Structure 1
Amino acid sequence: MTDTYDLLVIGAGMAGVAAATKTASKGWRVGIVDALPYGGTCALRGCDPKKILRRGAEVIDAARLMGGKGIDSNGLSINWEDLMKHKHGFTDPVPHNMEQDLRAHGVETLHGPTTFTGPTQVDIADKPYEASKILIATGAVPRPLDFPGHEHLIDSSDFLNLETLPRRIVFLGGGFISFEFAHIAARAGSTPIILDRGARPLKAFDADLVDLLVKRGSDAGVDVRRRTSITSITKSSSGYTIHTDTAGTPDSIQADLIVHGAGRVAELSRLDLDAGQVAHGSHGVEVAGHLQSTTNPAVYAAGDAADTAGPPLTPVAVIEAKVAASNMLKSATTVPDYAATPTAVFTVPELVRVGMLEQEAQSNGLNIDVRYTDTSGWYSNYRIGETAGATKILVDKDTDLIVGAHLFGHGYAELANTISVAMKHGLTTRQLKSTTAVYPSTGSDLGSIL
């Protein structure tokens, strides 16, 4: 006999859980399924555990910055095993707690690989199910690589579960994963190298601030090598030899560990979407703006599994899932609002972006005022011994509205949240500067940055 649901959610990450609980609260019979432990990438294999490990790096870095200023940092080090235990103290209870919460909200929890057998039919662990609506929220996986020796790489999930941290680590790719992990590894005593094929890493962020981050990382022991690609990897008794090509010049690097940080793709490989009449491409399930499949009206998709205009961020995935759920419940065509979504690279210190890059604002014909400020010598940085920091705020001269904000410095991810609120709700820079902030705090720098 086939079980039937009003909604079946494929993927028990933050997006899937948000949609499942929302629809169940309206009386729908909802099932959710995952082949992996419940929690998804962010809670188990990404954002949350990464930032717990980053805390160790922050403490080491903070002590070093205050060396000779009242703090003796000699001998201070990260105990990787204990730091990992601290991480597991958060991640290990997540699957059980999440399933319990889902059941408390009336959602039925299922386990196993899922494949479509028809437009509204799937098999889960070889058992048939049917649903009036299906939401695909399966997230993303590391992009496949095909150079000789690629099988020797570990991915981000493996890195976050390392029992010991080796000394020589090479990160492939110049994106979030490589930079964040390399900054952790450097403070934990490793000698990390980032290999980036392009002329500059972190292309989605302001180029001037990226340069400052690379310089700050270099001072902390992070070696970024540009225009460098891996041609092959060979294993030996002493580790790995990475054969590289840098602007046409061959070279080699010795490493104990090589980490895949060269991008991610939608995880759709096991779903047999063609059997479900669900169109899909290299960027995920093809959906209309309101997140409904372009070829199967019973199917919706959200997050990294969907080809949408939103950036690949957990909060965006959750917003999309809630919008998709609302559209299913109301037979509506609401489109998610991606305006002023902040994003950060949680290096030490962090790099943040909200809104347009400088060239994007110019290409859109905006009459912008570029307000660049070197904050390295400001009190908020002097207080902690930091010597790196800068901001670039793009203001529309015609409206006095912020159209882009780019920040590099300690605590600036929190500052970006205030800027995001201002941008989303149309506050001018004059209005922001008229607000009295807690002093002295990093937030009180905002008026001067503007």
Structure 2
Amino acid sequence: MTYDYDLFVIGAGSGGIATARRAAQYGAKVGIAEFSQLGGTCVNRGCIPKKLMVYASHFPHLFEDAQGYGWSAVHSTLDWQKMITAVNQELERLNGVYQRMLDNARVDLINGYAKFLDPHTLEINDRKVTADKILIAVGGHPYKPDIPGIEHAIVSDAMFHLKEQPKHIAIIGTGYIGVEFACIMNGLGSKVTLLDRNDLILRGFDDDLRSGIQEGMQQHGIEILNHSQAASIEKTPEGLKLAIANSNVTVTADVILSATGRKPNLQNMGLENAGVDIKKDAIAVDEYSRTNQPHIFAVGDCTNRVNLTPVAINEGRAFADTEFGGQPRKMAYDNIPSAIFSTPEGAAVGLTEAQARKNWGEAVKCYRAAFRPMYHTLSGRADKTMVKLVVEEDTQKVLGAHMVGEHAAEIIQGIAIALKMGATKQDFDATVGIHPSTAEEFVTLR
């Protein structure tokens, strides 16, 4: 049978665009559908605009720190609207970059929402297209907890379009999205209250990293209510009143951000018409990103494996290499580095101490240092840095690396290469450090 396309991609986010371009480079005729802006969550509602706001939030501390180094005091105020406009102008520029990428790769872009009519046929607006292979890369969306008044809360997408800076923002959820926005808004001058159901934020990360970031946030003035769960939201003349379950505590804020998680974007796709299996609200795939239909694949957040932009890109490229490049390969999910762009920043690669002990028990040894970085000896700030290696003693293999402090993401990115290559503690010990630097602490731990 003759098809319109060798490959049709549903969703022009980071994973979808990377896949389409790679397949086209191998000579495939490729089409892609997108009903919103190019670039998906990362470019338009996630990593990029959020990181720009992180940068903006750091300037007040820099102004203060400079006085310890002899600079006169700086009196500056934030123009919220100017910042938001500048951020969104950058996103418009990136949309143009992605459009040129697709044009240069000769990938056909169809603007609209794609829906399966049958296993090989999609309907986009009033147009029908057929494809030999189909890749689903539709990403995910934020969801809100089911509590009374939740309609008054916003999700992370709306943070980049607030008309005014809230004087007080309450945030429900302490995953990396909630934590990052708490630090951003605190740095920009808003009062921040963060609700955490547990005793430490950032569940799933190493406990030393979690406690280090939580203590740093509290030192910077963020109110963290541990063991607290949102019960209801009520709109009052004073603002939005957030009630805490099983207590008399309430928080009244201008804005309430719900950051309790994300779900795959699978609604109204007609997956039942293609016979694609769904498990736990996500598209079920094998190690080659193949669904139960041999010609339909899925990558990225819609599969709910590891929901990170570089992972979606790598999954997509592995699929294209395998199916169109004659180079079969699988995405490797071990030692994927990740970062929390909080203040203080955190980053990690490999296993947490708890995960390692679950597998190796007493054979695990941890090397840890916490110290005041040299930068703050003159700034006067009490911020601390923490570095940690998790090691299996018998082989001396480094199983995990964790850091809290400035430039944690940049440092852990390099260490991730070492872990990917199977580095041992002796390898770290034999490496000469760059002095004076924070990164050298990883090769001087004893």
Amino-acid identity (%): 29
Which residue number corresponds to residue 123 of structure 1? 123
Distance in 2 (CA, whole Å) between partners of 1:400 and 1:409 is 26
User: Match for 1:251: what amino acid?
Assistant: V
Match of 2:63 in 1: 63
Question: Kindly tell me: are residues 391 and 419 of structure 1, through their superposed partners in 2, closer, same or farther at Cα, counting changes over 3 Å?
Answer: same
Q: Is the 8 A contact 1:3 1:128 kept in 2?
A: no
Contact residue 381 and residue 410 of structure 1 kept, 8 A: no
Count residues in correspondence: 443
Tell me which amino acid in the other structure corresponds to 1:408. V
Shift in Å at residue 220 of structure 1? Answer: 1.4
Q: Structure 2 vs 1, CA of residues 53 and 374 (structure 1 numbering), >3 Å: closer, same or farther?
A: same
* 2:347 is equivalent to residue 349 of structure 1: no
Label 1:122 to 1:444 Cα distance change in 2 as closer, same or farther (>3 A).
same
Alignment correspondent of 2:437: 441
Cα distance in 2 for partners of 1:118, 1:94 equals: 34
Classify the secondary structure of the residue corresponding to 1:327: helix
Task: Report the counterpart of residue 412 of structure 1 in structure 2.
Answer: 408
Q: Distance in 2 between matches of 1:35 and 1:385?
A: 50
Structure 1 residue 198: Cα displacement: 2.7
Distance 2:115 2:156 in 1: 26
Partner SS state of residue 293, structure 2: coil
Aligned pairs (5 A) from 1:322-341: 322-329=317-324, 334-341=329-336
Aligned-partner Cα distance in 2 for 1:446–1:78: 37
Q: Normalising by structure 2, what TM-score?
A: 0.94
The equivalences for 1:13-24 within 5 A come to 13-24=13-24
Measured after TM superposition, the shift of residue 144 of structure 1 is 4.1
* Contact 2:387/2:441 (<8 A) preserved: no
Kindly indicate whether the alpha-carbon contact (under 8 Å) linking 1:352 and 1:416 is maintained by their aligned counterparts in 2. Answer: yes
- Deviation, 1:282, is 3.0
Q: Which residue does 2:285 correspond to in 1?
A: 287
1:335 Cα deviation after fit: 2.3
AA aligned opposite 1:29: K
SS at match of 1:117: strand
Q: Secondary structure at the match of 2:89?
A: helix
**1:281 Cα deviation after fit:** 2.6
For 1:359, which of 351, 354, 357 is the aligned residue?
354
Question: Paired residue for 2:147?
Answer: 147
Per-residue CA deviations over 1:8-61 (Å, capped at 9, x if unaligned) read: 111111100110001001111101111111111111111111111111112222
Structure-2 residue corresponding to 1:423: 419
User: Helix, strand or coil: the match of 1:365?
Assistant: helix
- Kindly provide the amino acid, as one letter, of the partner of residue 323 in structure 2: M
Q: For each residue in 1:71-102, what CA deviation from the matched residue of structure 2 results, as whole angstroms up to 9, or x when unmatched? A: 44463443322222331232111222211220
1:298 aligns with 2:295: yes
- Structure 1's 134 and 73: CA in aligned 2 closer, same or farther, altered over 3 A? farther
1:113 matched residue in structure 2: 113
Cα pair distance change 1:141/1:360, threshold 3 Å: same
Residue from 267, 270, 273 that aligns with 1:272: 270
Residue 398 of structure 2 is aligned to residue 402 of structure 1: yes
Would the aligned equivalents of 1:139 and 1:304 in 2 still touch at CA under 8 Å? yes
Post-superposition shift, 1:181? 0.7
1:179-258 to 2 correspondence within 5 Å? 179-245=179-245, 248-258=246-256
SS at match of 1:51: helix
TM-score, scaled to structure 1: 0.93
Range with bigger deviation, 340-349 or 211-220 = 211-220
Report the Cα offset of residue 283 of structure 1. Answer: 4.6
SS of equivalent residue, structure 1 residue 89: helix
Cα separation, 1, equivalents of 2:88 and 2:40: 15
The corresponding residue for 1:319 is: 314
Distance 1:185 1:144, change over 3 A: closer
For residues 339 and 221 of structure 1, the distance between their equivalents in structure 2, rounded to whole angstroms, comes to 36
Distance 1:50 1:395 in 2: 34
Residues 58, 220 of structure 1: alpha-carbon distance in 2 compared, 3 angstrom cutoff:
same
Deviates most, 56-65 or 91-100: 56-65
Q: Give the distance between the partners of 1:75 and 1:213, measured in 2 at CA.
A: 28
> How far 1:230 sits from its partner (Å)?
1.7
Unaligned runs of 5+ in 2: none
Cα distance in structure 2, aligned partners of 1:89 and 1:128: 34
Structure 2 distance, partners of 1:388, 1:443, is 14
The aligned residue for residue 175 of structure 1 is 175
User: What's the offset of the Cα at 1:380?
Assistant: 5.3
CA distance in 2, matches of 1:68, 1:48: 32
In 1, the alpha carbon distance for the partners of 2:80 and 2:37 equals 24
Give the letter aligned to residue 354 of structure 1. V
CA distance in 2, matches of 1:41, 1:175: 17
Q: Offset of 1:289 from its aligned partner? A: 1.3
Instruction: Say if 1:333 and 1:68 are closer, same or farther in 2 by CA, change over 3 A.
Output: closer
* SS at structure 1 position matched to 2:209: helix
Name the stretch that deviates more: 2-11 or 270-279: 2-11
Q: Which amino acid aligns with 2:276?
A: V
**What is the CA RMSD across the aligned residues, in angstroms?**
2.0
Tell me the distance in 1 between the aligned counterparts of 2:355 and 2:331.
21
Q: How does 1:43-54 map to 2 (within 5 A)?
A: 43-54=43-54
